[in-house]
Amino acid sequence: MTSVNSLVDIAVFGIVGAIMMAALVGLLLVASGRAGGVSPGVQRGFAAAALALLVAVPTLAAINVLASGAGFWRAFAVAACVAAIAAAVNIGLSPLVARRQGSAGTVLRPSLPVFAIGLVLCLALGLVTAGLAALFA
């Protein structure tokens, strides 16, 4: 029964992370639509907010898994999947921002190395956030 709970946690927290990431990218699109464009300070602020989101939502998912009595590795798996969903939304919507800013040439193109690096980063993020959850739970 715990595996079904893990799937529900991935779905719920993944959807929440995806919606919040899409809202953040939408705010960046609105900010970039202004006449002056987006300053580097604003871009750094949005990057920091996206990173905070990529850490907070998987950590909350892992805390929820640990609170249900599951082990660390199950919390790691849930956190890595939630991070992958939120990161996929961020990567999927980044061409919209790049096109709006006129820098379409610098967008990452989906390829095997990009997906491999993304997977490694999501696994590392899952490990970090599960560790944070173990400290807080």
Note the pLDDT tens digit of each residue in 84-130: 999 888 888 877 777 776 665 566 666 788 788 889 999 999 999 99
Q: How many domains does the chain have?
A: 1
Mean of the per-residue pLDDT values for the chain? 85
pLDDT of residue 123: 95
What average pLDDT does this structure show over 73-93? Answer: 91
Instruction: Determine the structural domain holding residue 111 and report its residue range.
Output: 2-136
Give the burial string for 78-101 (b: 16+ CB within 10 Å, else e).
bbbbbbbbbbbbbbebeeebbebb
